[in-house]
Amino acid sequence: MIEVRCPADGRLVGRVPSTSPEQVRAAVARLREAQPEWERIGPGGRAAWLRTLRDWLLDNDRHLADVLQSETGKPRAEAAFEVPVMCDIINFYAKNAARFLADEHPRPHGPLGAPKRLTTTHRPYPVVGVITPWNFPLAIPAMDAVPALLAGAAVALKPSEITPLTAVTLARGWTEIGAPPVFTVLTGAGATGAAVVDEADFVQFTGSTGTGRAIATRAAQRLVPYSLELGGKDPAIVLADADLDRAVNGIVWGGLFNSGQACVSIERVYVEAAVHDEFVAKLVARIGRLRQGGDDGSYRYDIGAMATPAQRDLVRRHVTEAIDAGATAVTGGRPGEEGLFFEPTVLVDVDHSMACVREETFGPTLPVIKVADADEAIRLANDSTYGLSASVWTGDPRRGERLARELDVGAVNVNDAYSNLFSFTLPHGGWKNSGLGARFGGAQGLRKYTRRTAITAPRLPTANSEITWYPYGPVRSRLLGRLLRVLTARGARRWR
């Protein structure tokens, strides 16, 4: 059994089994058996089940927020945020699934295809393994399991061993509404995840770059497709013409939401020299008004705990190493005395060799770097092994959009943080070490869980043979050769 503790106060909040590889194999076999009927009921039938699940989520939102808060130590406002996110994802994909999965009839392009009716269909991978991290125990499973289910796949969800209780509650909801047995939650640590990779027909992974690499290697050996949503080191660029109050409010939220434990957290801030000092002063003042603590469900706090001791220690190392190398913590800089808290921290006088700028911190830290101009900001922002997302803060949104095209990342928000993630018609995927593939992106977010079948059929009544079939012979073959030349050549060559 795996014990789950609340990071805010260390109390034991639950236990879940560690699922063995044999149990994973058996569970996936059961999913495989149930999946064909799930595919047969079509997008409309599946959408009806997902909408029933949405209603169950809304009917149980307080309980879900309690469970989620107990295992993450998040403030109530953030714990309560995940049910509506999941409902929104269900609504988007349930509404569009039939259209996104509809057959297509591409036009034939040339002489050989002309007599054919062409069709492509989308058939689901039978079992999709969804492996998720601890930072958003409901929202991240929702982002991947909902489209996979609507695509017609069965889903084996392997939640993080640190926060498995919300996923277990979700699985209970699926059973309670009486839905077909095509969704199961397999609790356990890395070995359980590895067993899911060994059994699934498609692996959808969200987590660290190191684990993503191990999963990619294993999936490649099995020749099963995979999609990886990995870590980030998102830069924010503040230009001198920005509305500084909005930039400060947005960057404080974008950097400290979920105690900075989000893949798309702002982890580096580049500020044009002309406004650097004013920006830092406002940033420190804004952070000074935040309330940090173990939330009892009363919405009293803005910032909660770190999820694990290891995560808290990583943040401490990044801050300490930076200070030892000459940086200054103008606010924060220390862990809390009780529970797994770390003070929101602003670091100045940092340089680009420091771990707090180069490695993913995944904590409530904002290193701020003074730059001469936008060009230097772009150059430094791109000087990273990660490429998840970025933000540009400017009084001229069109200029922000132009600069977005120079950033080597999967998404850029102008004068905002996180907003691309809630636009399901946009793809969410990382460049470089931040991932391979993407989630969402309208139809593609659902079609990625399907394989295409290409079908050709005659448009007109057919003869008992075709001119391209046997037997070959001088007359027929030359005639066919000339015909094809006329049809494929352009200009004078056609008649030569």
Q: Please give the residue ranges that form the binding site for ligand NAD (CB under 6 A).
A: 131-135, 140, 158, 160-161, 189-190, 193-194, 197, 206-208, 211, 214-215, 229-232, 263, 360, 362, 388, 430, 435
Question: 471 preceded by cis ω (within 30°)?
Answer: yes
Identify the H or E element spanning 18. Answer: none
Which of the following is catalytic: 71, 229, 267, 343?
229
Structure tokens at 163: 């926060």
| Phi-psi map region of 332: left, alpha, beta (phi>0 left; psi -120 to 50 alpha) | left
229 is catalytic: yes
Nearer CB in complex with ligand NAD: 3/55 = 3
Give the number of other CB atoms < 10 A from CB of residue 175: 11
Smallest separation (angstroms) from ligand NAD to the CB of 230: 5
Residue with tokens 């593939």, as numbered in its chain: 437
**266-272 and 12-16 strand pairing:** unpaired
Smallest separation (angstroms) from ligand NAD to the CB of 24: 11
* Contact present, 421 and 428 (Cβ < 8 Å): yes
Smallest separation (angstroms) from ligand NAD to the CB of 432: 12
In the complex, which residue's CB is closest to ligand NAD? 193
What amino acid occupies position 101? L
Nearer CB in complex with ligand NAD: 119/253 = 253
Nearer CB in complex with ligand NAD: 43/141 = 141
Tell me how far CA of residue 253 lies from CA of 287, 288, 407, in angstroms.
10, 13, 22
What does the alpha-carbon distance between residue 484 and residue 112 come to, in Å, rounded to a whole number?
9
> In the chain, what is the straight-line distance between the N-terminal and C-terminal CA atoms, in Å?
79
Which of the following is catalytic: 39, 78, 199, 263?
263
What does the alpha-carbon distance between residue 439 and residue 60 come to, in Å, rounded to a whole number?
27
Nearer CB in complex with ligand NAD: 108/442 = 442
Smallest separation (angstroms) from ligand NAD to the CB of 228: 8
Give the number of other CB atoms < 10 A from CB of residue 112: 13
Smallest separation (angstroms) from ligand NAD to the CB of 231: 3
Identify the H or E element spanning 232. Answer: none
Nearer CB in complex with ligand NAD: 88/396 = 88
Nearer CB in complex with ligand NAD: 197/390 = 197
22 is catalytic: no
Smallest separation (angstroms) from ligand NAD to the CB of 199: 11
Catalytically active residues are: 229, 263
